[in-house]
Structure 1
Amino acid sequence: MNASVTLLILDLVGVYFFAVSGSLLAARQRFDLVGSLLLASVTGLGGGVVRDLVLDAGPPIAFSQPLYLAPPVLAVVTVYFISASVRRFNRLLVAFDAAGLALFCVSGTLLAIAAHQHPVTAALLGVTTAVGGGILRDVIANVTPALFDQREFYAIPAFVGAALTAAAAALGLVHPLTTVPIIVLVFALRVAGRRLRWGIPLASRRVVE
């Protein structure tokens, strides 16, 4: 399996996991199936679309490759059938969101590297890919975006994953033996941060009125 196919699969799996998080939030907010599909699509594809527009390399992959439309549909079907048996929506949502974050900060960075971007730029685009869809999801669902919520440990794991991926690419060490541990690390940081209530200090040391 060549590198481009591996990267495509990595990206599609990331779309699916993020799309499931969007559909789970839609179910929690009592959206209908159309709303669930919209939120799943925006969540799964939004970050990649922003990345591709910044790269200015033609139409975003999500629009030029119809294959990218399949994961959101599959995510909606998945949530529709499992939602009745799910007792802890928030925990499941965080798990799928963490998986999408981990996969996208790696795939987004590698796609930017493949587009001949500087490693620093590639890492920033990896972070954009990772957090973009989640921001759009939360705004549409009218909840505080996890990226801006002091109770969520969101941006740091994405930065760590993107930076490690860019460093591995700069050193010519892009390989499953390096990318898989990075994905696992980002996932673990996101989940542990939520469970242990890690957070970034507030913008002000006192309440601003």
Structure 2
Amino acid sequence: MKHLLFLLSISVISTVIISCEEVEYTEIPEEETVTETKRIGFELVQIISMDSILVWANNEILTQEEFDSIQITSGWQKNEPREGMPDYAKFLRSPDAGEDREFTSAEHFGFQWLFNAQIVDSNAELPENEDGLLSGRYIAKYHQVTFNEGRTLSILISPQGEEYVLISRDANRITDIPVIPETWQIEEREINDSITFDLPNPTLNIRAENNQDSWQGPVIL
């Protein structure tokens, strides 16, 4: 059950315009100052098996109250609302699409949703993580993110030196301080120039169990 409740963090907000099963992206910036209202994404998780979990992101504006009101049925779960870290983000296609700008959209529980990711390994082994402070999932997705110049990025560094960038946080977290194994590191890294990159496909999504911070990669920055 713990594995199912983890599920993932992929929705950094993007706005899409639907035309049947194909959509065009209109990029929407994430919060530009700390005083602005945070943009929060909602996700439904369709559990086919532990290694085939479909993630549906809201494809219309939802309030927390509307999301809370959804009565899910067997085989579905709600992912916790996520706060996106990039300044801009977009999904290039659905995981099952043959080319960019092709998406699978559907109505579930009275709202429109976009299929943007699929968990293909729900229990990825992480090095030197004997106490289970971190959890890992491999996620199939076509996900591009942008961080503006001057941003300070949170980089999780594995004992082998692989780097993962903080992509999202639990919108309802009770602490901003993640707990990680002693042989892992978190580095705060300021960037002088704007950077845009695609996360690997599949992406290794690593979460801190105590506050659900989500680093993804590996990346080379």
TM-score interval for Structure 1 and Structure 2 normalised by the shorter chain: under 0.3
Give the TM-score, by structure 1 length.
0.27
Whose helix fraction is larger, Structure 1's or Structure 2's? 1
Task: Choose between structure 1 and 2: higher strand proportion.
Answer: 2
Structure number with greater CO (CA < 8 Å, separation at least 6) is 1
